[in-house]
């Protein structure tokens, strides 16, 4: 099981009231929510291994160079990602808790969690569940290899299981064609404009007719007599978007071969540092969430005592 950590702790922050505070009076809603989500996922799906995949770089330079609008609307005035003031201090606490618990946390300099997930899913020798609220990771689904997405669009209690059939049913495209579909349609949440005037229906029709983005662009260059789905209007739009179509795939495609050390992600039978974990629990009021996590992991009941 690969967790899109930022996706989950942002979802926890907005899903759990900030009135949930520690003894110091500061919010711990994102940390507690993340731990509770993880405990529920472990209980419901029983993975053998688990890795919290981290955004070491939430807006990598190579993607910005390809498309400057990429996540530009999320840049804070002082630079960096715009993060709620009550969330920022909770992230280092979560890092410390994961380390003390012994749960693997993996990032890579210059890459997003998506790329860590793509690389680990590609390396995996068995089935993989990717837990995320980010549709971009639908491009990883692979029924043959058992890679699926547990999509948290409506919260952790109502997860949508996304495999190739689900992508086909939702978007009307082959299960592994999501990245090309996203390039064509665009995604405002990531600052990805898409091809102006080409919506989901037209994008799906083009992919189904020509297979992939490369096939679509080849058809554009050789088409003399327009015919559906490459009508004269669509041809004009694709010609006008040629520069965008050259650059956008670099932004959308999840990296699958970045340089990462071997990651086992074995579930800890006891905390890596029980003393540190107990101190963190007491300092931040995390006892109940950590006991639920411990129960899901099979830890001794008195591990925090």
pLDDT at 11 over 80: yes
Confidence of residue 248 (pLDDT cuts 50, 70, 90): very high
pLDDT at 154 over 80: no
In this structure, how many other beta carbons lie within 10 angstroms of the beta carbon of residue 232?
11
Domains 2-171+255-297 and 178-252 share a fold: no
Task: Please provide the CATH number assigned to the domain covering 2-171+255-297.
Answer: 3.40.50.1010
Q: Strand 128-132 relative to strand 104-106: parallel, antiparallel, unpaired?
A: unpaired
pLDDT tens per residue, range 17-41: 999 999 999 999 999 999 999 999 9
This prediction's pTM: 0.95
Nearest by Cα to 182 from 169, 165, 164, 167: 167
Q: Classify domain 178-252 at the CATH topology level.
A: DNA polymerase; domain 1 (1.10.150)
Query: 143-165: b or e for each residue (b if 16 or more CB lie within 10 Å)?
Result: eeeebbbbbbeeebeebeebbbe
What's the sign of the alpha-carbon dihedral 194, 199, 200, 204?
negative
Share of the chain above pLDDT 90, in %: 93
pLDDT at 145 over 70: yes
Is 208 in contact with 172 (CB distance < 8 Å)?
A: yes
> How confident is the model at residue 85, as a pLDDT?
95
pLDDT tens per residue, range 39-88: 999 999 999 999 999 999 999 999 999 999 999 999 999 888 999 999 99
Tell me, letter by letter, the H, E, C secondary structure of the chain. CEEEHHHHHHHHHHHCCCCCECCCCCECHHHHHHHHHHHHHHHHHCCCECEEECCCCCCCHHHHHHCCCCCHHHECCCCCECCCCCCCCHHHHHHHHHHHHCCEEECCCCCCHHHHHHHHHHHCCCCEEEEECCHHHHHHCECCCCEEEEECCCCCCCCEEECHHHHHHHHCCCCCCHHHHHHHHCEHHHCECCCCCCCHHHHHHHHHHHCCHHHHHHHHHHCCCCECCECHHHHHHHHHCHHHHHHHHHHHCCCCCCCCCCCCCECCCCCCCHHHHHHHHHHHCCHHHHHHHHHHHCCCCCCCC
Mean pLDDT computed over every residue of the chain = 95
Share of the chain above pLDDT 70, in %: 99
Q: Residue 89 burial by CB count (10 A; 0-12/13-18/19+): exposed, middle or buried?
A: middle
> How confident is the model at residue 156, as a pLDDT?
63
The average pLDDT across 112-116 equals 98
* 145: CB partners within 8 A, 6+ apart: 124, 127, 128
The average pLDDT across 82-97 equals 97
Ordered by start, the domain boundaries in the chain are 2-171+255-297, 178-252
In this structure, how many other beta carbons lie within 10 angstroms of the beta carbon of residue 54?
22
pLDDT at 155 over 70: no
* 256: CB partners within 8 A, 6+ apart: 115, 118, 119, 121, 122
pLDDT tens per residue, range 169-218: 999 999 889 999 999 999 998 999 999 999 999 999 999 999 999 999 99
pLDDT at 270 over 70: yes
Confidence of residue 298 (pLDDT cuts 50, 70, 90): very high
> How confident is the model at residue 79, as a pLDDT?
87
């Amino acid at each position: 099981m690969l967790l899109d950590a930022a996706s989950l702790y942002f979802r926890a922050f907005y899903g759990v009231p900030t009135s949930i505070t520690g003894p110091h009076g500061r919010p711990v809603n994102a940390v507690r929510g993340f731990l509770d989500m993880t405990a529920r996922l472990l209980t419901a799906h029983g993975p053998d291994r688990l890795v919290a995949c981290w955004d070491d770089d939430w807006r990598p330079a190579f993607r910005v160079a390809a498309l400057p609008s990429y996540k530009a609307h999320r840049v804070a005035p002082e630079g960096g990602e715009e993060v709620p003031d009550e969330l920022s201090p909770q992230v280092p606490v979560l890092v410390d808790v994961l380390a003390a618990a012994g749960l693997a946390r993996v990032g890579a300099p210059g890459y997003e969690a998506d790329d860590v997930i793509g690389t680990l899913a590609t390396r995996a020798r068995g089935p993989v569940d990717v837990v995320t609220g980010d549709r971009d990771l639908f491009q990883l689904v692979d029924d043959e290899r058992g890679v699926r997405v547990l999509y948290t669009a409506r919260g952790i209690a109502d997860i949508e299981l996304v495999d190739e059939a689900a992508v086909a049913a939702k978007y009307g495209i082959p299960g592994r064609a999501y990245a090309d579909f996203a390039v064509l349609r665009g995604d405002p949440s990531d600052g990805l404009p898409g091809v102006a005037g080409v919506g989901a229906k037209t994008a799906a029709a083009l992919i189904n007719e020509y297979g992939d983005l490369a096939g679509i662009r080849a058809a554009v260059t050789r088409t003399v007599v327009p015919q559906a789905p490459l009508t004269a209007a669509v041809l004009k739009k694709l010609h006008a978007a040629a520069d965008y179509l050259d650059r956008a795939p670099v932004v959308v495609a999840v990296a699958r071969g970045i340089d990462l050390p071997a990651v086992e992600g074995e579930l800890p039978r006891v905390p890596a540092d029980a003393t540190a974990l107990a101190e963190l629990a007491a300092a931040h009021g995390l006892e109940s969430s950590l006991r639920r996590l411990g129960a899901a992991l099979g830890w001794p009941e008195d591990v925090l005592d």
